[in-house]
Amino acid sequence: MSEIPAAEQFAGKVVVITGASAGIGSGFAKQAAAYGMKLVLADIAEEKLNTVAEDLRAQGVEVEAVRTDVSDPASVEALAERAYDRFGAVDMLINNAGIMAMGFSWEVPAEKWDAVLRVNIGGYVNGLRAFVPRMLEQGTKGWILQVSSIGGLFPSPLMSPYSVTKFGTLALTESLHYEMQMRQAPIQVSVVLPDSVKSEIFSAAKGESTLPAADAFNDALQQRADTIGITPEEHAARVFEQVAQGRYWVTAQPEAVDQGIVPRAEMIRDRVNPVLSFEV
């Protein structure tokens, strides 16, 4: 494990962050700027993205803001071209863009299922396809961060599209980690497992379901994020420090993983039927 602080390792490096206009993504952007990194920020919400970028530019940060639909391979390829045209290299890719859908698995409309799969999984794949070949060609030390969730370890009712994609992110990221080892590439891969972070991801999904319990569950998750959640900036600082240490498994709130992972592993080992742990 490296003992070089994040601020020292990442200063002057170029980072690409998807989903950078709000929440966890904007937290990564602000913390990266505090380290003196050069930023390429991507999001489909162009107005909000530009606001984040302008605020950082006003602080003297070098920022390229690119409206990007991560579900579109051509859009992500254009993002990579802009990044390399502006800075000549990319040292870190943070695949973060994601959306939520709430409701019974069979109740979520087909188009919403498709959107979540295209953004939360397809967007990450598109990011890897656009940036990994270029980063390998550079031959320099690099980092790829893939944002999953504690929901990638513990599936939940009423948010199966999110659970499916965050489980999928775990598989995609671990496969990528092994592939970098096979290539003996100087690229460190890390999977990020946020718990409650202050953001609007749950509020944005409210009202999509006709099930009252879904809205109540959504409200409970949003309230948890608002009350015990850490700020996106604090989340980013903790994540960057763990990445700087060389960690693959990265979580800013390890207590949530530590409390649940052993009982879950024992449930699987002992073939115990899953039981709902709360009332709906």
CATH 3.30.1330.60 fits domain 8-269 = no
Are the beta carbons of 192 and 148 closer than 8 angstroms?
Answer: yes
DSSP state letters, 157-170: TTBHHHHHHHHHHH
Q: What is the pLDDT of residue 220?
A: 67
Q: What distance lies between CA 252 and its chain's CA centroid?
A: 13
- pLDDT class for 276, splitting at 50, 70, 90? confident
CA distances, 170 to each of 133, 181, 185, 241 (Å): 21, 17, 20, 20
Q: pLDDT tens digit string along 94-141?
A: 999 999 998 899 999 999 999 999 999 999 999 999 999 999 999 999
Q: What is the pLDDT of residue 1?
A: 80
Q: What is the pLDDT of residue 37?
A: 98
Q: What is the pLDDT of residue 2?
A: 82
Q: pLDDT tens digit string along 188-205?
A: 999 999 998 977 666 565
Catalytic center residues: 162
Q: What is the pLDDT of residue 198?
A: 75
Q: What percent of the chain has pLDDT over 90?
A: 83
What average pLDDT does the structure give for the chain? 93
189: β partners = 144
